[in-house]
Structure 1
Amino acid sequence: MLQTEWTPMTLVHHLALQTDWEHAQQAGEYRISTLGHTLDDIGFIHLSHDHTQLRTVHDTYYTAVTQPLLVLDIDPTGLDIRTENGYPHLYGPLPVTAVTATHPYAP
């Protein structure tokens, strides 16, 4: 597995169920790696560099989901993000304060 250190330059993104994001806002942090898997299960939170990667994540994990999906725009400053196999991964919980915006995701 190719691993490189993350250099904060641009926003990264995460595809989330709206309900998971709502729970995170109450808790102060987001801990879902990918649909049905937590940070504790996987060891990191899956992120995307761009909308092409988001589409791939959607097509791989979320095609059967009927709940509303959101794109979380994340400022990577101060977060332990590493790019592995072309995708950024966050090692640790996502503080809600690092999310700069949310947008509905429509495949």
Structure 2
Amino acid sequence: MSPRETDRARYERDLSWLWAAVHELPSGVLWGTDAASREHCDEMMAGLQEFERVLHRLGLDDHGEFIEGCRWHFEHYPHYLERRRHFIDYATYTRDRRGPTTVPLPAKRPR
């Protein structure tokens, strides 16, 4: 498999699991079928950074809204979890902090 084919496969795999983590917003961030933990969010941040490197290698520069939305939630969800007794729910927490209530799936895919 060529490096480009490897990156395309990595792109599809990573996009799939990153999207799975945020597709239920504004209810919360998922890890599989369960709510993510602080450790899961740390892992997802590391995965998001690798995804950005793959995007760069593939020449895809139109995923900014997806990346920034994921980053916002992976950074803020642990804070919410630690203090959730102070909040009505994650949707309210997100709105109160002017965060994105959804993360759009990127339209462009690598060729």
Q: Same fold (TM over 0.5)?
A: no
Give me the TM-score of the superposition, normalised by structure 1.
Answer: 0.30
Flag the structure with higher helix content.
Answer: 2
TM-score, with normalisation over the residues of structure 2? 0.29
**Structure number with higher relative contact order (C-alpha < 8 Å, ≥ 6 residues apart):** 1
